[in-house]
Amino acid sequence: MEKVGRIDAVVASLNGRWNQDIPLTKTSLDDWKQMLDSNLTAHFIAARTFLPVLEYGSSYTLIGGGAAEAAMPNYGPVCVPAAGQLMLTQVLVEENKGSGIRINEVVLHSLIATRERPSDGHPEWITADEVGAYTAWLASEEASMVNGSIIRLYQHT
């Protein structure tokens, strides 16, 4: 904080990759722990690090995925931590009421087009730039009325 001074906004876009297609009961304990750490514990650590130093008028936004709200066979190690992240957000909102820090979660119900995964042939995908623009708006004074919200962004139709 001595170097940067005040932090006005935090966007926590943290997750791990799951490239397997196996039932939850066949998931190894090591894989389970790795997904919990990279998808849920990482958000806990970020919140524990940044929320105490944010001041009145600041914004804290978590980014999550649609797996939090849709049970998908063979993707339990993604779905369970994502659902836990939604509850983490709700607890953080309750614990920070009256602090003047706006806490929200953006749940992405779309694949995201990135440099590594371009949307070639998929114009319905949300782009990383769109997510960035939305979260920047959410952190702005213009969105000062948005607090304690779970905001769902869906693919283009």
Residues 14-48 have pLDDT tens digits of 987 778 889 999 999 999 999 999 999 999 999 99
Residue 101 has φ and ψ, to the nearest 5°, of -95, 125
Kindly report which listed range (11-25, 121-135, 141-155) carries the lowest average pLDDT score. 11-25
Alpha carbons within 13 A on the beta-carbon side of 122: 13
Q: In the prediction, which pLDDT does 2 show?
A: 85
Is 3 part of a structural domain of the chain? no
| pLDDT for res 20 | 82
CATH number, domain with residue 143: 3.40.50.720
pTM of the model: 0.92
**Residue 133 structural domain:** 9-154
Distance, in Å, from the CA atom of 148 to the CA atom of 91, rounded to the nearest integer, reads: 10
Does residue 54 lie in a domain region? yes
CA-based nearest residue to 114, from 38, 37, 17: 17
User: Tens of pLDDT along 76-106?
Assistant: 999 999 999 999 999 999 999 999 999 999 9
In a domain, 28, yes or no: yes
**Structural domain count, the chain:** 1
